[in-house]
Chains A and B, each alone.
Chain A
Amino acid sequence: MPEPILEIRDVSKTYPARAGLFGRGVAVAALRRVSLSVARGESFGLVGESGSGKTTLTRAILRLETPSAGQILYRGEDLAKLSARALRAWRAKVQIVFQDPYASLNPRMTVEAIVTEPMVIHRRAMPLSSTQRRDRAAELLALVGLAPQHLRRHPHEFSGGQRQRIGIARALASGPDLLLLDEPTSALDVSVQAQVLNLLIDLQDRLGLTYFFISHDLSVVRYLCDRVALIRHGVVEEVGQTQQIFDAPATEYARMLIAAAPEVRPFTG
């Protein structure tokens, strides 16, 4: 296997009990000794039901949460040990595409402002003039299947699928190696979902990106991901090649998830 770009080692996250208005709460173990390794250039799927810890793990990778125990390594470096400056440089390399393209774009910003903002934030790593930024934004829009004239428009002028393309262009703006994709198509119609999934595949082939794909939709994960981890109650139940897990699930949880997922098997009747 190629070198891991992201390694999660024995990560736990416990939210402590809080004494509140209605008495004492209970401590919640959102992640329990999670270990995963994502290879450079692969698509890694993280699948789990609500409350399984998917979101906590994603937030921990982005360092929006500090793990209670364990380490997260990016290209062999422990993120917890990075200096503020190194952390900022790292953030340019790890970006996220959010689930809801209606909520994740600022309605008062133009597409140009949205897509160039990461370049402004990461100007130290990416010293560009404003003209260069605009040119790069136009290139990024072309890359995701939009046109340069869309730069001056606002999010409300776009459909859901187009907005998600803008969200992807923004995520690519700082030149990342690793994209966290948090259910990027679950708010989209199937015909639009197919376009966005194909765009993601195309971008990966062209730019050599690594994907960490969070989803509860098994059919989408099977389509996009090389490897997959199934998580439940903060514990990784099963990890492996996607094909293998779907063909021969080893755990009861995997069997249950696969059996419960409805499937259309067209053109076979």
Chain B
Amino acid sequence: MPHPEAPPLLEISDLHLTMASFDGVAHVLNGVDLTVRRGEVWGLVGESGCGKSLTGLSISRLVPTPPARYPAGEIRFNGTDLMRLRPREMQALRGRRIGMIFQDPTTNLNPTARIGDQLVDVALAAAAHDPTVLGPAPGGARRAARALAAEMMQRVGIDDAAARLRSYPHEFSGGMRQRVLIAMALIGRPDLLIADEPTTALDVSVQAQILALLKRLVAEHGIGVILITHNLAVVAQTCSHVAVMYAGNVVEAAPVAELIGAPAHPYTRALLAAIPTRETRRGELRGLAGSVPDLIHPPPGCRFAPRCARATSVCQTLPPLRPLTPGHLVACYHPITEPAGA
């Protein structure tokens, strides 16, 4: 359960990221703000190229610099600014305090090693930084790591875990592999889990199981989660909060029911209107005219303004992300407050 008074687990403020390319310097993150507390599951949504994955990778400091550069911004994790850590210090956090899961469960496992050995390696690496991960290890670290690996496999819903440790990745289905990766991400007992499109490659029935598993693990472990996805329906089903990104900015952030029930940013509203639902009649779906801005020569101010019907001259300066109501943040000079559907 969220604790609003507890200090935030993660606090990203004004994060800028530029990326050098042949055509020039692209301003990919343009002052991202995001705060995550323990027990919260944040959906980070947006369309291709909005910077959602780069935000996730920046938290784990996995964006290679160069070509990337961080001109400004802070990523405070448990109070420490990750931007100031040395690579060695970051290494100690990554995979242990900050767990990660990526989209494709096939390419993230070593096909030539047994599942158990891969989990044991992660457990031992985590234990090197924090021996309490393995607890008392009377039979030696490796044996304790193996027991932990079996326990984690069981927790993510793999039956007969001890025997399945001897399996190779190709013997597992896509959903099972994703479970293994979740087990691997949680083995170091992270405080924050970043899941980047964890169910995009999976069938809907398997997706539903994986998302339910994530929710259960958050409740059991009290961790914070950032679920990066392009799918608002997945967010609606899984998350407690949502942040919507557009062209390198968080444009709206709110509890999930609030954002879906009363979207205030014109982009959020357009995004929701583009998703077919039970009630959408044939031909009534509304696409979003125009296209995402060129990040090498972005429009001044609000990057959504060129596609926005409500834009005026004030939109030439970048609107800050500020509260519309407590807990509902929006970066827009002309937020929509009248009931939706109008």
Report which A residues bind B (CB closer than 8 A).
Answer: 49-50, 159-161, 189-195, 197-198, 201-202, 216, 218-220, 222-224, 246, 256-257, 259-269
Q: Is the CB of A266 within 8 A of B260?
A: yes
Check A268/B271 contact, CB under 8 A, given A49-B203, A262-B234, A262-B236.
no
Partner of A191, one of B231, B238, B262, B288: B288
Known: A198-B287, A220-B276, A263-B277. 15 other contacts (CB 8 A): A49-B205, A161-B291, A190-B275, A194-B275, A194-B276, A194-B288, A195-B287, A222-B276, A260-B208, A262-B233, A262-B236, A262-B237, A263-B236, A266-B340, A267-B261
Name the A residues within 8 Å of B233 (CB-CB).
219, 261-264
* Chain B residue at smallest Cβ distance from A223: B276
Chain B residues near A256: list those with CB within 8 A: 205
Question: Which of B62-70, B135-143, B278-286, B314-322 lies at the interface?
Answer: B278-286
**Min CB gap B318→A, angstroms:** 22
Minimum Cβ distance to chain B for residue A188 (Å): 9
Q: Within B200-215, which residues are at the interface with A (CB < 8 Å)?
A: 203-205, 207-208, 211
A160-B282 Cα distance, complex, nearest whole Å: 23
A187, closest chain B residue (CB): B48
Q: Does B296 belong to the interface (CB within 8 Å)? A: no
What's the nearest-Cβ distance from chain B to residue A30, in Å? 17
B326 within 8 A of A: no
Q: Name B242-273 residues within 8 Å CB distance of A.
A: 257-258, 260-263, 270-273
Shortest A78–chain B CB gap in Å is 33
Residue pairs across A and B with Cβ atoms less than 8 A apart, 30 shown, are A49-B203, A50-B203, A189-B47, A190-B230, A191-B270, A194-B274, A194-B275, A194-B276, A201-B283, A216-B204, A219-B277, A223-B282, A223-B285, A246-B278, A256-B205, A257-B204, A259-B208, A260-B207, A260-B208, A262-B204, A262-B211, A262-B237, A262-B238, A263-B277, A265-B236, A266-B277, A267-B261, A267-B272, A267-B340, A269-B258
Chain B: how many interface residues by the 8 Å CB criterion? 43
Chain A residues, Cβ within 8 Å of B205: 49, 256-257, 260
**CB nearest neighbor in A for B45:** A190
Nearest-neighbor residue (CB-CB) of A186 within chain B: B200
Q: Please determine whether B285 and A194 come into contact, CB atoms closer than 8 angstroms.
A: yes
Give the complex CA separation of A267 and B257 in angstroms. Answer: 10
Contact check, A191 vs B261: say whether CB atoms are below 8 A apart. Answer: no
Q: State whether B260 touches A264 (Cβ < 8 A).
A: yes
- What 0/1 readout, one digit per residue, does chain B (79-109) give for beta carbons within 8 Å of chain A? 0000000000000000000000000000000
Are the CB atoms of B234 and A269 closer together than 8 Å? no
- Docked CA distance A143–B114 (Å): 54
Whether B4 is near chain A, meaning CB under 8 Å from some CB there, is no
Q: Which residues of B contact A49 (CB under 8 A)?
A: 203-205
Q: Which residues of B contact A267 (CB under 8 A)?
A: 261, 272, 339-341
Which residue on chain B has the smallest CB distance to residue A47? B204
CB nearest to B282 among chain A residues: A201
Top 10 A-B pairs ranked by shortest CB distance?
A269-B261, A195-B287, A191-B288, A223-B276, A194-B287, A262-B233, A189-B47, A194-B274, A49-B203, A260-B208
Q: CB-CB < 8 A to B283: which residues of A?
A: 198, 201-202
**Chain B residues, Cβ within 8 Å of A265:** 236, 260, 277-278
Of all chain A residues, the one with the shortest Cβ separation from B257 is A269
In angstroms, how far is the closest chain A Cβ from the Cβ of B238? Answer: 8
* Distance, CA A263 to CA B211, complexed state (A): 14
Q: Judge whether B291 and A219 touch: CB under 8 Å.
A: no
- In the bound complex, residues from chain A placing their C-beta under 8 Å from that of B271 are 190-191
**Min CB distance, A165 to chain B, in Å?**
12
Q: Which residue of B is nearest A224, CB measured? A: B282
Interface flag for B232 (CB, 8 Å): yes
The CB with the most chain A CB atoms within 10 A, among B238, B263, B272, is that of B272
With contacts A191-B271, A219-B276, A267-B261 taken as known, whether A260 is within 8 angstroms of B287 at the C-beta atoms is no
| Shortest CB distance A103–B (Å) | 16
Let me know if B275 and A219 touch, CB within 8 A. yes
Task: Give Cα A218–Cα B204 distance, bound, in whole angstroms.
Answer: 9
Taking a contact as CB atoms under 8 Å apart, the answer to whether B285 and A197 are in contact is yes
A161 contacts which chain B residues (CB < 8 A)? 291
Which residues on the A side are within 8 Å of B208 (C-beta)?
Answer: 259-260, 262
Would A190 and B274 be within 8 Å (CB), given that A49-B204, A264-B260, A269-B261 are in contact? yes
Of all chain A residues, the one with the shortest Cβ separation from B262 is A269
Cα distance A209–B270 when bound, in Å? 29
**A192: chain B residues within 8 A (beta carbon):** 47, 287-288
Are B48 and A189 touching (Cβ within 8 A)? yes
Cβ of B189 to closest chain A Cβ, rounded Å: 29
Find out whether the CB atom of B260 lies under 8 angstroms from the CB atom of A269: yes
Question: Are A191 and B274 neighbours in the complex by a CB distance under 8 Å?
Answer: yes
How many whole Å from B306's CB to the nearest CB in chain A? 14
- Tell me, in angstroms, the Cα distance from A219 to B237 when the chains sit together: 15
Which B residues are in CB contact (< 8 Å) with A201?
282-283
Interfacial residues of chain B within 283-317, with CB under 8 A of chain A in the complex: 283, 285-288, 291
Within the complex, the shortest CB–CB distance from A254 to chain B, in Å, comes to 12
Determine the chain A residues whose CB is within 8 A of the CB of B274 once the complex forms. Answer: 190-191, 193-194
Could you tell me the distance between the alpha carbons of A194 and B272 in the complex, rounded to whole angstroms?
11
Q: Given the complex of chains A and B, what is the CA–CA distance between A265 and B234 in angstroms?
A: 12
* Contact residues in B for A219 (Cβ distance below 8 Å): 233, 275-277
Among B21-57, those with CB < 8 Å from A are 47-48
Query: In whole Å, how far is A156's beta carbon from the nearest beta carbon of chain B?
Result: 13
